[in-house]
Amino acid sequence: MDVQIALLLAQDGLTNGAIYALLALAIVLVFVVTRVLWVPQGEFVSYGALTLASLQLGKVPGTVWLLVCAGLATALVDGVVAVREGRLRRMPRSLLANVVLPLALAALATWLAPRNPPLLVQILLTIALIVPLGAMVYRLAFQPLQRASVLVLLIVSVAVHFAMQGLGLVFFGPEGARTPAFTDVRFELGVMTVSGQSLLVIGASVFLIVVLYLFFERTIYGKALRATAVNRTGARLVGISTSLAGKLTFTLAAGIGAVSGILIAPIATIYYDSGFLIGLKGFVGSVVGAIVSYPLAALGAVLVGMLESFGSFYASALKEVIVFTALLPVLIWLSLRSRHVEEDDEE
Amino acid sequence: MNAQRLLSLAALALLVIAPLVVSEFSVTLLNYIGLASLVAIGCSLLTGVGGLTSFGQAAFVGLGAYTTAVLTTQFGWSPWLTLPAGLALTAMVAMLLALITLRLSGHFLPVGTIAWGISLYYLFANVDGLGGQTGITGVPPLQVADHVLNTGREFYYLVWFFVVLALIAVRNLLDSRPGRAIRALRGGITMAESCGVDTQHYRAVIFLLSALVACLSGWLYAHLIRFVNPSPFSINLSIEYLFMAVIGGASHVWGAVVGATVLTVLKQWLQDILPRLIHASGNFETIVFGLLMVLLLQRARTGIMPLLARFLPLDRPVRVPALDAGAARQDAPLGARERPLAGELLLEVRDVVRRFGGLVAVNRISFEMRAGEILGLIGPNGAGKSTLFNLITGVLAPSAGEVWLRGERIDRLRSRQIAQRGVARTFQHVQLRPAMSVIENVAIGAHLRAGGGVIGAALRLDRRSEASILREARRQLERVGLGAELLVPAGSLPLGSQRILEVARALTADPMLLLLDEPAAGLRYQEKRALADLLLRLRGEGVTILLVEHDMDFVMNLVDRLVVMQFGEQIATGLPAQIQADPAVIEAYLGGVE
């Protein structure tokens, strides 16, 4: 391997690593706020990539139907609870968020799709179609289980992965899709050719991380989420609803997933089930920070990207083996650092 | 013959007759159910009983299948030799994974096994010697004596022989000393460790067992299908095995078989019907499984077995041994402790400090306890009493200071090691296993007084020692006044009785130092008197007692000396009469006179 190849691989690794880092951050966020080990983060990635790909082909993306169905299911569950608890006053809000908004988005997407809108509009529409799914997933799967153990939440998370992956197959079909590159620009930097695409991905990731940082540091909602992460009961006592925190968290996770999907769409061919492995690579990254530290998670994710990139150069068939086996030394390291852990589980 | 045994025999008879009367297709399905049941039995033990999760079970199945496929086709080994080889390999991998993940919190085992499951899958698919995606063909059939198991019907009996064997072994195991330790894992490590249970060891044991049955299933699979390729060993299959365990629930060992049956049949049916409904091909059944799981965990987390148990006699009550001397003579004797002489220096707490961040919860507390005395530890709420308990029992380590027990420094020991040295405790917030019977909860306390491992328990070689453990548990329960409620679920007792149950559990450990954290809370007057009498009798037997309690009448009439704490500080130490007259104590309790 010469320097040129090494630099090229590093660039690839960094590009993928930047996307994994976004996913790792979402996974850490979901875990610290809701205690859910969020395995299906990758599903949002496939949804994002495949939605954008459909829009570029001038087709109405399957996400439209998925969103409308999920919204109706959510409104139905809300409705049943509202009737049972005699709190019908809450229903207009739920109907607005879960029925009116999805229908409006569906109408917009159906109208826009065949008209070949500019790329930026396609991207915004993709994000808009996927972001509401986050809160719906939380409402349907996790809100009734707020007091359940990490173990139960994990099994539910895996179940949601099963459902979301299967629904991806129904709504997007088995064909893969790859979108054209956002830009063909290339820069010569000494011996290295830097692709504009890579810069765009890395730049977008860094930008999003900064936005998230500002959200958590500067806004009241961001602070509410941090408070919930530190102490759920304490946060409730000062008026931060666990359900609201959960919905907000999953909304953010869906948004991050959609953006990651849009970023990865021109880099790799994405199928309905590709997201799982991509999400798991974010997961591996987040384990470097023991699924609680944001900076270490991001760092870990970048390392995963690098490992994958160099691994595929040396033994292309075994790159997944290399990436996932690399988790074992990380776990050993974590294990050696920890004093014995006491944790209590429920019945 | 009781109803429970009758049902087992009926089920067994049905198993034997089934392949003779059903179609070839159904036999194939039953074989798959049997193979899945084996893996699900392991998952049920691991997840349902032990509270751990693995996403690598399908990979262990694959390890068993590939080991035998490679060794039989490429090296000409007999299948009966490849089974031990596969099991050994599986044991090595499982122990390695256990070693590196079980020291961390519970969610790192699933994370570690996801990595292992995916790695192995891609290894199967990409290593040339393993046949890649096309797999390995020509795996020889199994041969029992001179008989070759060529057909599904013949193979059926072998598969279900192993299933029944695994069921019996697991059922025996759970009803034993190591079994109770395993069942205590989910109730919080603190309680189990305080009874001397090495929780890491038992977590590793159940992970190992679940991996081994999975490997066995893989070995059978390879010789049934006579062909292996990577696809049945992917992580999705691991998730399905986990779902089987969840569907059945962990309340009965049969749950795994029920779960495996439901999921296998449902999958077959859905794969048939869904593609026609959707007009496309694909694994749409995952949607149904996913939604079903979410609903099940929201609505009926214990699975469908408790539902079945309402109609079928599935529950096997624990056999409670009689207390008469004749029966007791046959028991294996429980370990008994040599007692310190009355007045010997037993416990020494020297300048112990515990900080939580900026908060000093316990600040320079010092006192001694001599054998045979009752020391009361009192103070307003938040004074740091329970924290001090945790420091003495090794649940927390002190930030500074030392704790000595009979001339040995114990403040760096784990709570399990301190329990070994004869310290038993109860908890301010009751820690017991609500679904386990009262007597089994108390029997956990005797964990260190008897030996007996997993294999002995599975083979029922532990009955004498088991009888003596249960007899001791019963004796202590009669002593604290819970003798009438031996078999009810511990969670159904009123809170006051649950506290008394904890006292019995601590006594079953035959402690020389007993730490009681508010044992009288929630008791009625008569019950408090009975408790006080019991504690005085224990003192007479040479047991030393450290008591946290808020009821002053109870404390003042019982204890020999008192230590008073306020805001983490020790504000007074002395005889009850001195303490009652101490101005600092009066100020702490009643407020100062300005």
Contact flag B115-A328 (C-beta cutoff 8 Å): yes
Tell me whether residue A346 is in a domain: no
pLDDT given at position B108: 83
- Give the confidence band of A118 by pLDDT, cuts at 50, 70, 90: very high
**B119 to chain A: nearest residue by CA?**
A321
d(CA A218, CA A209): 14
pLDDT digits (tens, 9 = 90+) for B240-256: 999 999 998 887 888 99
Contact flag B107-A155 (C-beta cutoff 8 Å): no
Residues B97-108, mean pLDDT to the nearest whole number: 80
Q: Is it the case that residue A343 has pLDDT exceeding 80?
A: no
Contact flag A347-B118 (C-beta cutoff 8 Å): no
A107 to chain B, closest Cα gap in Å = 24
Among A155, A165, A320, beta carbon nearest to B297: A155
User: B-chain residues within 8 Å CB-CB of A343?
Assistant: 105-106, 188-189
Residues B23-39, mean pLDDT to the nearest whole number: 95
pLDDT given at position A344: 41
Among B105, B239, B287, beta carbon nearest to A158: B239
* ipTM for the complex shown: 0.91
Percentage of residues of chain A with pLDDT beyond 90? 55
Q: What is the dihedral of CA B49, B52, B55, B56, to 10 degrees?
A: -80
User: A-chain residues within 8 Å CB-CB of B101?
Assistant: 331, 335
pLDDT given at position A293: 84
Interface with A, mutate which of B44, B54, B114 (most A CBs under 10 A)? B114
Which residue segment(s) compose the domain that A260 sits in?
A: 3-337
Contact flag A170-B278 (C-beta cutoff 8 Å): yes
CA distances from B66 to A144, B58, B73, B144, B227 (A): 42, 12, 10, 21, 9
Among A162, A334, A344, beta carbon nearest to B289: A162
Residues A139-163, mean pLDDT to the nearest whole number: 92
- Give the confidence band of A292 by pLDDT, cuts at 50, 70, 90: confident
**Average pLDDT over all residues of chain A:** 89
| Of A197 and A276, more confident | A276
Among A155, A318, A328, beta carbon nearest to B53: A155
A17-21, A170-174, B302-306 — which is least confidently predicted?
Answer: B302-306
A153 to chain B, closest Cα gap in Å = 9
pLDDT given at position B326: 64
Among B111, B280, B287, beta carbon nearest to A163: B287
The percent helix, strand, coil of chain B (3-state, each to 5) is 60, 10, 30
Among B47, B282, B434, beta carbon nearest to A347: B434
pLDDT given at position B188: 75
CA distances from A10 to A3, A14, A17, A319 (A): 10, 6, 10, 15
Interface with A, mutate which of B123, B286, B292, B411 (most A CBs under 10 A)? B286
B189 to chain A, closest Cα gap in Å = 6
Cβ pairs bridging A and B (under 8 Å): 166
Half-sphere exposure of B19 (CA within 13 A, CB side): 19
**Average pLDDT over all residues of chain B:** 89
Contact flag B51-A338 (C-beta cutoff 8 Å): no
d(CA A221, CA A133): 19
pLDDT digits (tens, 9 = 90+) for B267-283: 999 998 988 888 888 88
CA distances from A338 to A28, A325, B387, B413 (A): 19, 21, 21, 16
pLDDT given at position A346: 40
**A342 to chain B: nearest residue by CA?**
B189
Tell me whether residue A267 is in a domain: yes
User: B-chain residues within 8 Å CB-CB of A141?
Assistant: 294
Contact flag A343-B101 (C-beta cutoff 8 Å): no
Among A325, A340, A347, beta carbon nearest to B115: A325
d(CA B325, CA B330): 9
Q: Is it the case that residue A347 has pLDDT exceeding 60?
A: no
- Give the confidence band of B1 by pLDDT, cuts at 50, 70, 90: low
Q: By three-state DSSP, how is residue B282 classified?
A: coil
Residues A268-274, mean pLDDT to the nearest whole number: 92
- Give the confidence band of B172 by pLDDT, cuts at 50, 70, 90: very high
Residues A104-116, mean pLDDT to the nearest whole number: 92
In sequence order, the 6+-apart residues with CB closer than 8 A to the CB of A196 are: A182, A183, A184, A185, A186, A187
Q: How far is CA B238 from the centre of its chain?
A: 22
B480 to chain A, closest Cα gap in Å = 26
Tell me whether residue A345 is in a domain: no
Six-digit token pair at A90?
């809450």
Contact flag A144-B239 (C-beta cutoff 8 Å): no
B160-174, B217-231, B531-545 — which is least confidently predicted?
Answer: B531-545
pTM of the model as a whole: 0.92
Tell me whether residue A342 is in a domain: no
> What does B430-452 look like in DSSP terms, one character per residue?
----TTSBHHHHHHGGGGGG---
Taking only Cα atoms into account, the Rg of chain A, rounded to an integer number of angstroms, comes to: 20
pLDDT given at position A236: 87
pLDDT digits (tens, 9 = 90+) for A81-99: 999 988 888 888 889 999 9
| CB A275 within 8 Å of CB A47 | yes
**A340 to chain B: nearest residue by CA?**
B103
User: B-chain residues within 8 Å CB-CB of A344?
Assistant: 187-190
d(CA B120, CA A237): 47
Contact flag B243-A318 (C-beta cutoff 8 Å): no
Six-digit token pair at B7?
């049902």
Among A287, A318, A343, beta carbon nearest to B126: A318
Query: In chain A, where does DSSP find H-type helix?
Result: 3-34, 41-56, 63-85, 91-95, 101-112, 119-137, 150-172, 196-218, 220-230, 232-237, 242-264, 274-288, 294-314, 319-325, 327-337
Among B55, B284, B294, beta carbon nearest to A169: B284
User: B-chain residues within 8 Å CB-CB of A231?
Assistant: none
Question: Which of A23, A59, A53, A67 minimizes the C-alpha distance to A41?
Answer: A23
pLDDT digits (tens, 9 = 90+) for B287-339: 999 999 999 999 888 888 888 888 887 777 777 787 776 666 666 677 777 78
Contact flag B119-A324 (C-beta cutoff 8 Å): yes
Question: Which of B387, B89, B47 minimizes the C-alpha distance to B249?
Answer: B47
Percentage of residues of chain A with pLDDT beyond 70? 97
User: A-chain residues within 8 Å CB-CB of B246?
Assistant: 155
| Of A249 and A2, more confident | A249
CA distances from B346 to A177, B406, B480, B537, B572 (A): 74, 5, 25, 19, 21
Tell me whether residue A89 is in a domain: yes
Q: Is it the case that residue B215 has pLDDT exceeding 60?
A: yes
d(CA A259, CA A208): 9
Residues A318-328, mean pLDDT to the nearest whole number: 87
B555 to chain A, closest Cα gap in Å = 31
Contact flag B118-A280 (C-beta cutoff 8 Å): yes
Residues B377-386, mean pLDDT to the nearest whole number: 88
Among A164, A169, A335, beta carbon nearest to B103: A335
**Amino acid in position B6:** L
d(CA B594, CA B591): 9
**B292 to chain A: nearest residue by CA?**
A159
Domain count, chain A: 1
Contact flag B100-A277 (C-beta cutoff 8 Å): no
CA distances from B552 to B379, B383, B489, B584 (A): 10, 16, 32, 16
Interface with B, mutate which of A27, A46, A140, A327 (most B CBs under 10 A)? A327
pLDDT digits (tens, 9 = 90+) for B106-120: 778 888 888 889 999
pLDDT given at position A341: 45
User: B-chain residues within 8 Å CB-CB of A173?
Assistant: 280
pLDDT digits (tens, 9 = 90+) for B319-332: 778 777 666 666 66
pLDDT given at position B332: 67
Residues B376-383, mean pLDDT to the nearest whole number: 88
Contact flag B293-A291 (C-beta cutoff 8 Å): no
Tell me whether residue A347 is in a domain: no
| Of B107 and B496, more confident | B496
Q: Is it the case that residue B495 has pLDDT exceeding 80?
A: yes
Residues A135-160, mean pLDDT to the nearest whole number: 93
**Positive or negative, the Cα torsion across A279, A280, A285, A286?**
positive
Contact flag B122-A166 (C-beta cutoff 8 Å): no
Residue whose pair of structure tokens reads 């820690």 in the numeric block: B431
**Amino acid in position A208:** L
Residues B10-34, mean pLDDT to the nearest whole number: 92
Q: How is residue B437 annotated by DSSP?
A: B
Contact flag B285-A287 (C-beta cutoff 8 Å): no
pLDDT given at position A228: 87
| Of A71 and B304, more confident | A71
Q: How far is CA B235 from the centre of its chain?
A: 26
pLDDT given at position B329: 65
Six-digit token pair at B82?
């490849």
Among A166, A290, A338, beta carbon nearest to B283: A166
Q: By three-state DSSP, how is residue B329 classified?
A: coil
**Amino acid in position B251:** S
pLDDT given at position B81: 94
Helix, strand counts (H, E) of chain A:
15, 2
Tell me whether residue A53 is in a domain: yes
Angle at B254 between CA B252 and CA B256, to 5 degrees: 100
Contact flag B188-A345 (C-beta cutoff 8 Å): yes
d(CA B267, CA B51): 26
Contact flag A335-B414 (C-beta cutoff 8 Å): no
Residues B218-238, mean pLDDT to the nearest whole number: 94
Tell me whether residue A82 is in a domain: yes
